[in-house]
Structures are given as C-alpha cells and as structure tokens.
C-alpha cells in the first residue's frame, strides 16, 4: 500500500466549459498515467446505502507509486465507472502536483477569477453611472422647485 496523500472523490458534477475559454487552457503538460506506476485495489464501500453498499468491493483505491498520491473513488455502484473516475481524478491530482500553477484546474480557476473581476469592474462602473444620474436628476428637481 502506498503512503501519501489520500484524496476522496467528491460528487462529480457535469461541468460545461466555455468554448471561448477552453482554447486558453494549456493541456500540453498534463501527465500521462502509466499503468505500471499505478497500484489498484478494490475495497469495501462505505457511506449511506447500508448493506447494499457495504458488502460489495466496488470502491477503487489507486496509488501512484512514484509520487505516493492515493485516490479513493466510490461514486457509483458500478466498478468500471469507479475505475474510470478514479483514474481521471488521479490524473488531475498528478497534474496539480507536478505542474502547480500551470495545472488545468489552476488555469480554469484563474480564468474564472479573471471573469469575475471583469464582471465586478463592469458592475461597479454601472453603479457609479447610476449614482451620477440620480444626483443630476436630484439637482434638476431642486432647481425646478426653486424657479416656481
């Protein structure tokens, strides 16, 4: 068994990447998973579901021997789906470990953060324009009240 960081998979949500942003992500440095570097074990599942979950060995634990990264996946009751998800999760964790700030997840986070900042700047500008408009409108009302 490998000693290292254990990462449990979380609920896999379907995410749709923005097509305008997808071309900005550099996927050239994503590591290729070699099967001889991976130790695969099937262990009993846990969590809600009772006996139906606990009696089957459909939880997949993958250990990447060179780095010591350990990943557990028990998202589905089907073994082949868990194996596929565990490998995908292991590649993501390897990418984060080896590439750091240039990993795909870090790049996606950076793009998302930049989009949020741009949207915040736009909203702040609109708030300022609205405030100026209301001030001009108020000054117009005040000058109209003085003339009558």
Return d(Cα 91, Cα 69) in angstroms, integer.
10
Q: Which helix (H) or strand (E) holds 38?
A: strand 38-43
User: Residues 108, 114, 115, 116: is their CA dihedral positive or negative?
Assistant: positive
Residues 6 or more apart in contact with residue 3 via CB below 8 angstroms:
68
Q: What is the pLDDT of residues 2-43, one digit of tens each?
A: 655 565 555 544 444 555 666 788 888 888 999 999 999 999
Q: What percent of the chain has pLDDT over 70?
A: 82
On whether the pTM is more than 0.85, the answer is no
Angle at 95 between CA 34 and CA 64, to 5 degrees: 40
Q: Tell me, what's the pLDDT at 25?
A: 84
66-92 in b/e form (b: 16+ CB < 10 A) is ebebbbbbbbbeeeeebbebbbebbbb
Residue 10 burial (C-beta neighbours within 10 Å; 0-12, 13-18, 19+): exposed
Q: Please tell me the predicted confidence (pLDDT) of residue 142.
A: 75
Q: Mind listing the domains of the chain with CATH numbers?
A: 33-147 (3.30.160.20)
Q: Using one digit for the tens of pLDDT, what is the confidence trace for 75-133?
A: 988 999 999 999 999 999 999 999 889 899 999 999 999 999 999 999 999 999 999 99
């Amino acid at each position: 068994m490998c000693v290292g960081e254990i990462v449990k998979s979380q609920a896999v949500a379907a995410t749709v990447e923005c097509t305008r942003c997808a071309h900005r992500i550099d996927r050239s440095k994503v590591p290729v998973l070699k099967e001889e570097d991976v130790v695969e074990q099937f262990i009993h599942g846990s969590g809600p579901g009772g006996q139906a979950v606990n009696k089957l060995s459909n939880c997949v634990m993958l250990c990447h021997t060179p780095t010591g990264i350990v990943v557990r996946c028990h998202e589905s009751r089907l073994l082949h789906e868990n194996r596929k998800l565990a490998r995908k999760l292991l590649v993501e964790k390897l990418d984060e470990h080896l590439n750091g700030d240039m990993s795909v997840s870090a790049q996606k986070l950076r793009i998302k953060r930049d989009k949020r900042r741009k949207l915040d700047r736009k909203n702040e500008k609109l708030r300022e324009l609205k405030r100026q408009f209301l001030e001009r409108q108020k000054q117009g009302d005040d000058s109209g009240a003085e003339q009558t």
